Structure 1
Amino acid sequence: MIAGLFLRHYSIYKNINYIPLSDGEKFTSLIGENGVGKSSVLDSLDKFFNQRDSRDWVINKQARQEGGISSKDKAPFICPVFIISKNEADIFPENLKIFIETISVFLWNAPKKILTDDFHKHLEHLKFLGVDKTHHIIMIGKRHEEKDAFFFGFENEFRKAIDTIAEVDFTSTANEFLQHIIDSTTYLYIPVETNVSTFSKLEEADMQILMDKNIQTEVGKAINDSIVRGINSDLDAFVKQIEKTLPQYTYKATGNKKKLTKLDIVQKTIEAYFSIQVLHKTIGASDIAIQHLSSGEKRRALVDLAYSFLVNSEEERKDVILAIDEPETSLHIEACFEQFEKLREVTKKHTQLIITTHWYGHLPISSSGKSILITKNDEEIAKHAFNLANYREQINAEKDLIKGPLPYSIQMKSYNDLTQSMVASMQNGYNWIVCEGSSEKIYLEHYLKKEISLHKLRILPAGGAPEVLRIAKYLQAPLQDKSMPVNGMALCLIDTDKDSKDFNKDQAVKSLHVKRLILKDDDVVLVEIEDPLSSPCTEIEDSLNPNIYIESLKALKHDDISKINFSDAILPNAKISAKALDLKASQQEMLKNALKTTGLKYQLAEMYVSNCKHNPDTDIEPQWINELRAILNIEAKSSKTSTEQVLPAKSASRTRPKGKSTAPKDALK
């Protein structure tokens, strides 16, 4: 995985620059004004991985004019920094394994004085996260018009460290590792001006990268050696007939190759077949050729192609880095959210995604990943990295350090972009539920799967109650315009916490609702956020099926939870999970604290839904789900509700189905 990138004299980057790209996350967005070098990052990586000719490198004009690249020690270079899992490194050949480990130890422990400030800052952050305990770090690059591996200013130090190990030759091993990195990584770059028609043709190398199987292999199965011999024999006979009519002329091979090979025939077959196949999009009853679509639709088709091949693949593939310049280009504002949702799904399939974008709406909806704000002040380019799980706090902390034109209040623009996209979609009949976190989204998607497909329903985790209410505030302003036709609804849903949450709801806005979940009597219900009923503290987990909830809790891998004897605490006849257990105060506190562990609520939600699917007869939805449907005015499905469910006697139990559930480390709740 790429963690960062060193560039010298490449495109807008004069002298030596380091751009941090990842702390181990698979999603990275590069943001900032035009002309600060976002696309240059993606382009330089394309030159590196796809071994483009050095003549195609975009050399910094000023450096070239000033003679700054005339000497070898000032030549332009592209040098990525990689983090490699220690488990993955164990399968390398012994010489490469020693090479990686030696360089990694040097870099993790390198003194600050020999590092650039940006690189040192990133290294310290990676060590703070514990990445040095689980990963090796190594840099290796290419210098302009040179074939050998390049190591920035560290080559002498690396050589000294490697030379102490007699069985490893530095130069040959470095070049072997460079080639291994290039061969084992697929880098697919989609610049803004990509020709979609060409990209979509299946014989193109880029499309073969995305496909599970190589087209040549598949076509080759239909062309056996007998066919190849027959074609050569027939052509030889035909040529001899021509030569008989032209006694002064003869056909002769001009090189060592005398006959057509199977590969020749396969390649020409692919070229001929796919030259007549054009990708079409079905719109209504018509199929429209891709070259006749609008710019925005063409751009969407590119992401659809990548999404389809990468997400739907059932086979393991080598690591893919998908780099896209401005995936929102030419898209209508309402389509941006859907486009970015697809891109986030791509990262779940061995794919690192790096994008440049001006659509800041992705910031508040991304629970993981990294965003790099690039700014330029005169000739100085500055890079500021933010973790998307808490980017708001980091931006506030670094405002005074950011030089150059700060994109107008990043937080404000991010919410403006997102809510503009939401409002535009609501005008076209989309419905939204904005919830606190990823775990809530899992439950809601389970119970509303029919409505999601039939009623254009989207569920957005915001990252906590304050963010849900912030989105509600940004939505309310445009929805107050009575002249704007709105055919969809938005419902912002939060838990009831010990700290009260305020929101000034404009009652005249009928397309926006802000609700709280709260335990009332023996059930969980929806109330207005201003409702005077403010206790007890209530979460979505309190409203679940008691049987499946307890079963899922017991399956969680957590030391404190494993100490709780759930069987002795089960309360029969409970209708909801909040009333299902009679735990001692100490155990209640133990369970409460355990569920605060990062990612554990996400795990619980996945286990709960998995158990529901394996026990459909007892999958009884909370009654407030129907209230939610009524508010959104979407069709209710026929099912049992929580008022019909009771907990059986203590002796009743079930075993969770096999299958391990994994949760992202940075799940919101």
Structure 2
Amino acid sequence: MKLREIILKNFRGYYVETRITIDDLTALIGKNDVGKSTILEALDIFFNQSKIDSVDRNVFHTGEETVIGCVFDDLPAEITLENVTTSFSKEYLINRDGNLEVLKKYPTNGKTTIWIYANHPSNDGFNDLLLKKNNELKAMIRAAHLEDGVNLSINSAMRAALWASLGDTITFEVREISADQADEKKLWPKIEPLLPSYRLFKADRPSSDEDQEAQDPMQHAMKTALEEQSEQLNAIANEVQRKVSEVATNTIQKLREFDPELAATLTPKFKKEPTWEKAFSFSLTGENSIPLNKRGSGIRRLVLFSFFRATTESALFEGKNIIYAVEEPETSQHPDAQRMIVNTFKEMTEKNGCQIIITTHVPGLAALLPIQSLRYITNSEGSPEVAVGTEDAGILARVADTLGVLPDLTPPLAPQHHDVKLVICVEGPNDVAFLTAISRTAHQADPSIVDLNSSPYIVIIPLGGNTLKEWVNHNYLQKLNTPEYHIYDSDNTHAHAGICDQINRRSDGSSARETTKREMENYIHSDVVRDLFGVQIEISDTMDVPREISALLQARNPTAYSPETVKRKLNKLGAPRMTMELLHSRDPADEVIGWLRDISKFIQA
């Protein structure tokens, strides 16, 4: 599972329900005390704590319950409930986007409750099957004469049969389903182990080799080493106990000569087994035997964050997705080290299962990050407002002007000795995912084509469908003095033809074009769709591909992927599966390769 959205309500400054989308790499940006750390600490409570403090409630609404929720995608195909394999979709535990949405509610009195917000059957008598015990489900099965072919010892099988019996009359509503009450107390313990591991590295922490992150990985290493030597250590312990017991027995025998009654009350006994882990401690030292806690604060934080990673990536967390949350990674760091940290974060997120969320209020660090990863937080009438990437033109302009968050654009923020030669402008993050994936495949086939994933000379910026006109009209990127290469969906209506003409009339080397097919998804081959979603579809140039695929999936299961989710998966997971042969089959005119060759010419000039 991967975290895709955080939901906060009545938690500290976030009184009104606020949803913050999360990418594989997410940067929370804003001034001090605007609510960045609040988001990270809310996640720490959700994943690692069962209660909140009274001061965590909004100070003006202390009598109302607090809600912290998380939305997850990339769900496992199967889960085990009641010792039987089923799935989130079969149990109707996913929302309309095909994701798992979990809400933890913290009342003013009483214990925390856990709910799943799902698109669930709403027919009377069939809307609470997860609440029912085995004997209740059996009674319903028998009353409906569904015994044939249904295993009456398996609750999930009976639920599936009852829901299937509704046929076309089944109806759905999005509502909250208890995950930890009544008979579904079996539900949450099965879901919780599937969630990602969440670890928070705070900014206001001590930086010495006695810090917890510094100790944990070595303690884990020592535990592993001791387990490997357990047989020898047990032999040593037994021999020590034998010798000590022998001495104690001899001592009692000698004591008996002085005071037989006292000696009779004494028995040799070890109070507890030896704890080998406590027999070892460590400290890191550098050149000239200088310990870590005497080194500079920047060095200490780098080392301790490495310990933090080592702890999280230990065998304890094998097989689980990981979310790192790091407060102000730029603290005490030279700009070169900041650049190294950001590059490391980018590399980490490319590993399967790793997500990173950071906070910062330093423009220089934000400038090193992909613009689609930015979340700009401001106070709006006393409540935090979160702008996501490029979805709001007004906020984007403020971000660009006040924080300088445009990524990797000009020295000294760009990689050393390199100037960005081209800015590629597309509509959204899905287009970025498509182009970068196809460029990697094309580069492997023809090295003269640039790999957009690794070139320091090119930056891709999603301008946002709703704000695209504002970006072009106001020419926000003009101050960069860098040519722009714009690619926009035609949407079968040539909606962006006027914008393209406006850009092409510039005299700064910029150019723009619309796709000849409807949008990027129309360049993906049907074989990839079949492998990714298990449906067969013949893709045309004008088809709304995500909507058509979603319709096919929802015909099988009404809670299957929405068009938006299909679109994201097509570009993020499908585009990397495209081969040059499949691309040429869908794009015999080599339109996409033509874009990439045009782009490559800018860095070859």
Same fold (TM over 0.5): yes
Paired amino acid for 1:384: V
Aligned partner of 1:423 in structure 2 is 411
SS across alignment from 1:424: coil
Instruction: Please tell me whether the aligned partners of residues 349 and 355 of structure 2 are also in contact (alpha carbons under 8 angstroms).
Output: yes
| Cα drift, residue 94 of structure 1 | 6.2
Aligned partner of 2:327 in structure 1 is 325
Greater Cα shift, 299-308 or 337-346: 299-308
- Cα distance in 1 for residues equivalent to 2:377 and 2:278: 46
| Cα drift, residue 353 of structure 1 | 2.7
Aligned partner of 1:649 in structure 2 is none
| Cα drift, residue 345 of structure 1 | 3.3
Instruction: Please tell me whether the aligned partners of residues 4 and 19 of structure 1 are also in contact (alpha carbons under 8 angstroms).
Output: no
| Cα drift, residue 385 of structure 1 | 4.8
Instruction: Please tell me whether the aligned partners of residues 29 and 356 of structure 1 are also in contact (alpha carbons under 8 angstroms).
Output: yes
Root-mean-square deviation (CA), in Å?
6.0
- Cα distance in 1 for residues equivalent to 2:89 and 2:378: 30
The change in CA–CA distance for 1:197 and 1:376 in structure 2 (over 3 A counts) is farther
Alignment of 1:183-202 (within 5 A): 183-184=193-194, 185-198=196-209
The change in CA–CA distance for 1:471 and 1:293 in structure 2 (over 3 A counts) is farther
Structure with greater contact order relative to length (CA < 8 Å, sep ≥ 6): 2
Equivalent residue for 1:351, pick from 343, 346, 354: 354
1:161 aligns with 2:89: no
- Cα distance in 1 for residues equivalent to 2:375 and 2:218: 30
* Identical aligned residues as a percent: 13
Paired amino acid for 2:103: M
List runs of 5+ in structure 2 lacking aligned partners. Answer: 135-154, 156-178, 256-261, 425-434, 489-499, 516-522, 531-538, 546-566, 584-595
| Cα drift, residue 82 of structure 1 | 3.4
Paired amino acid for 1:438: T
Equivalent residue for 2:37, pick from 36, 39, 50: 39
Instruction: Please tell me whether the aligned partners of residues 79 and 150 of structure 1 are also in contact (alpha carbons under 8 angstroms).
Output: no
- Cα distance in 2 for residues equivalent to 1:427 and 1:366: 14
Aligned partner of 1:149 in structure 2 is 113
Instruction: Please tell me whether the aligned partners of residues 342 and 368 of structure 2 are also in contact (alpha carbons under 8 angstroms).
Output: no
1:140 aligns with 2:104: yes
The change in CA–CA distance for 1:302 and 1:276 in structure 2 (over 3 A counts) is closer
Aligned partner of 1:59 in structure 2 is 56
| Cα drift, residue 494 of structure 1 | 3.9
Deviation string, structure 1 residues 431-457 (Cα, Å, up to 9, x no partner): 5454525358648986889x99xxx97
Instruction: Please tell me whether the aligned partners of residues 6 and 70 of structure 2 are also in contact (alpha carbons under 8 angstroms).
Output: yes
Equivalent residue for 2:243, pick from 237, 243, 256: 237
| Cα drift, residue 381 of structure 1 | 1.3
- Cα distance in 1 for residues equivalent to 2:5 and 2:460: 28
1:223 aligns with 2:226: no
| Cα drift, residue 40 of structure 1 | 1.7
| Cα drift, residue 350 of structure 1 | 0.8
Aligned partner of 2:21 in structure 1 is 22
Greater Cα shift, 142-151 or 344-353: 142-151
The change in CA–CA distance for 1:5 and 1:429 in structure 2 (over 3 A counts) is closer
- Cα distance in 1 for residues equivalent to 2:266 and 2:580: 74
| Cα drift, residue 409 of structure 1 | 0.6
Aligned partner of 2:278 in structure 1 is 268
Aligned partner of 1:339 in structure 2 is 341
Aligned residues: 460
SS across alignment from 2:21: coil
SS across alignment from 1:352: strand
The change in CA–CA distance for 1:52 and 1:625 in structure 2 (over 3 A counts) is closer
Instruction: Please tell me whether the aligned partners of residues 186 and 320 of structure 1 are also in contact (alpha carbons under 8 angstroms).
Output: yes
| Cα drift, residue 322 of structure 1 | 1.4
The change in CA–CA distance for 1:427 and 1:2 in structure 2 (over 3 A counts) is closer
- Cα distance in 1 for residues equivalent to 2:337 and 2:183: 48
Greater Cα shift, 220-229 or 411-420: 411-420
Alignment of 1:167-566 (within 5 A): 167=134, 171=181, 175-180=185-190, 182-184=192-194, 185-198=196-209, 204-205=215-216, 207=217, 215=221, 218-235=224-241, 237-238=243-244, 241=247, 244=251, 258-260=271-273, 264-265=275-276, 267-268=277-278, 272=280, 275-278=281-284, 290-291=292-293, 294-301=296-303, 317-333=319-335, 336-348=338-350, 349-359=352-362, 362=366, 366=370, 371=375, 373-377=377-381, 380-386=382-388, 388=389, 391=390, 394-396=391-393, 399=394, 409-413=398-402, 415=404, 418=407, 422-425=410-413, 429-436=417-424, 438=436, 442=440, 458-463=456-461, 473-476=478-481, 494=485, 499=501, 501=504, 529=509, 557=528
The change in CA–CA distance for 1:311 and 1:189 in structure 2 (over 3 A counts) is closer
SS across alignment from 2:27: strand
Paired amino acid for 1:353: I
- Cα distance in 2 for residues equivalent to 1:308 and 1:434: 38
The change in CA–CA distance for 1:175 and 1:438 in structure 2 (over 3 A counts) is same
SS across alignment from 2:205: coil
- Cα distance in 2 for residues equivalent to 1:425 and 1:292: 31
- Cα distance in 1 for residues equivalent to 2:476 and 2:332: 25
- Cα distance in 1 for residues equivalent to 2:272 and 2:356: 44
| TM-score calculated relative to the size of structure 1 | 0.51
- Cα distance in 1 for residues equivalent to 2:378 and 2:266: 61
SS across alignment from 2:278: helix
Instruction: Please tell me whether the aligned partners of residues 307 and 342 of structure 1 are also in contact (alpha carbons under 8 angstroms).
Output: no
- Cα distance in 1 for residues equivalent to 2:210 and 2:423: 38
Deviation string, structure 1 residues 126-159 (Cα, Å, up to 9, x no partner): x4xxx1xx334332355578655345999xx999
Instruction: Please tell me whether the aligned partners of residues 79 and 86 of structure 2 are also in contact (alpha carbons under 8 angstroms).
Output: yes
Instruction: Please tell me whether the aligned partners of residues 524 and 575 of structure 2 are also in contact (alpha carbons under 8 angstroms).
Output: no
Instruction: Please tell me whether the aligned partners of residues 30 and 372 of structure 1 are also in contact (alpha carbons under 8 angstroms).
Output: yes
Equivalent residue for 1:80, pick from 48, 60, 69: 69
| Cα drift, residue 189 of structure 1 | 0.3
- Cα distance in 2 for residues equivalent to 1:28 and 1:290: 30
Greater Cα shift, 338-347 or 440-449: 440-449
